[in-house]
Structure formats: C-alpha cells, structure tokens
Structure 1
Amino acid sequence: MENYTFPLQLIALFGVLYFFMIRPQQNRAKKEKEFETNLKVGDKIITKSGLHGKVSEMAETTVVIETMSGKLKMEKSAISLEMSAALNKKV
C-alpha cells in the first residue's frame, strides 16, 4: 500500500492546483472575452491603466475611446472588466 501514496499525493496536488488556480483563471478569461464581445458604441469604460472614457468607434480588436482631452485608439483587451462594471453600476 505504501507504493501508492506518492502517486496519490501527486494526483491530489494536481487536483488542488486545477480547482484553485487553473479553473478560476479560465473562468476569468472567459468573462473578459465575453465582456469584450458585448462592448458597444456609447458604453462608458475604464481602461486597465485608469483612463476613463466612452466608446465612440469599434473595430474587430480595437476601440476608439472618447475622453475629455480627445479620442484614443486602444485594444479591447486594455479595457478593465471589473472597473468598467463598477463604473456602470454607480450610474
């Protein structure tokens, strides 16, 4: 029976790693991808660098954000899901 304890410990370790690290990261990536595809013109957003603005134009992977100082073209992946959701809940 002692010959099986180490392999069982390894399996348990990989199980813990999967459920506490890999799976939550996959869920987060899925939510971010869904958020990016659901963006539309007129949405108020905050980028990951803290820039506030409103989506004025959209392309496949980029957006043009209208800010108080002008328009900026950015990647959709630079938009923060959490901060944008918090901004839109306040309004």
Structure 2
Amino acid sequence: MNVLNVMLQAQGGADYSFLIMMVAIFAIMYFFMIRPQNKKQKEIANFRKNLEVGQSVITAGGIYGKIKEIEDNAVIVEIASGVKIKVDKNSIYADAQAQANK
C-alpha cells in the first residue's frame, strides 16, 4: 500500500502537463485537419445547391459534362453530343470551367 501511495504522489504533478499536452494536440488537429475539411464540405454542399442548367461539371468518377436537366436528387449530364447520363447530385464535385482555369 505504501508503494501505491508513493507512485500516485509521484505522478500527481504530471497531470496538468498531460492535460495541457492533450488540449494542444486537439487544437492542432482541429485547426489543421477538422476545420479545413468542414469548410470544404460546406463549399461542395453550397455548389450542389446552386447547380444550373448549362453548367459544366465534373462527376466523382471523373466524367466531364454539361447539365441538361436537374431533378430532386439527380442531374442529367450530357457527356457527348446526344449522350446523356443520369447522375446523383451527391456525385457532382466540381465546376469544370473553374478547374480548367486553375
């Protein structure tokens, strides 16, 4: 029992430094990983809300095309002259013209 008391007292001073270290690690992870990812997700969600007919887009599969029709949860994309595919709105990731300008 005496050994246990000595060990607990020896580690008592390290509790605050461990707590400070854990808070610092969480803060670093938040500002360098979590916050940028949340910002990116909000930008993509806003982009999907503002889709317009005639807009050039890129799908998650890497298919470039123009929006011909917008439905509730899907988008009709023309990928070639006369070739149209139906794509889920959640798989539209980028504006093709904005990507070309980068």
Match of 1:76 among 80, 89, 97: 89
Whole-Å separation in 1 of the counterparts to 2:22 and 2:97: 40
Question: What are the residue-to-residue correspondences of 1:1-91 with 2, within 5 Å?
Answer: 2-68=14-80, 70-81=83-94, 83=96, 85-87=98-100, 89=101
SS in 2 for 1:80: strand
Structure number with greater Rg is 2
Tell me the alpha carbon deviations over residues 4-54 of structure 1, each in whole angstroms, 9 at most, x when there is no partner: 100000011111111111101100000000100111001011212121111
Percentage identity across aligned positions? 36
Residue 78 of structure 1 deviates from its aligned partner by 1.2
The gaps in structure 1 that reach 5 residues or longer are none
> Is 1:46–1:84's contact at 8 Å kept on the other side of the alignment?
no
SS in 2 for 1:9: helix
The gaps in structure 2 that reach 5 residues or longer are 1-12
Alpha carbon RMSD of aligned pairs, Å?
1.9
Whole-Å separation in 2 of the counterparts to 1:62 and 1:7: 48
Q: How many residues align?
A: 89
| Cα distance change of structure 1 residues 67 and 58 upon mapping to structure 2, 3 Å threshold | same
SS in 1 for 2:37: helix
TM-score by length of 2: 0.77
For 1:75, give the aligned amino acid.
D
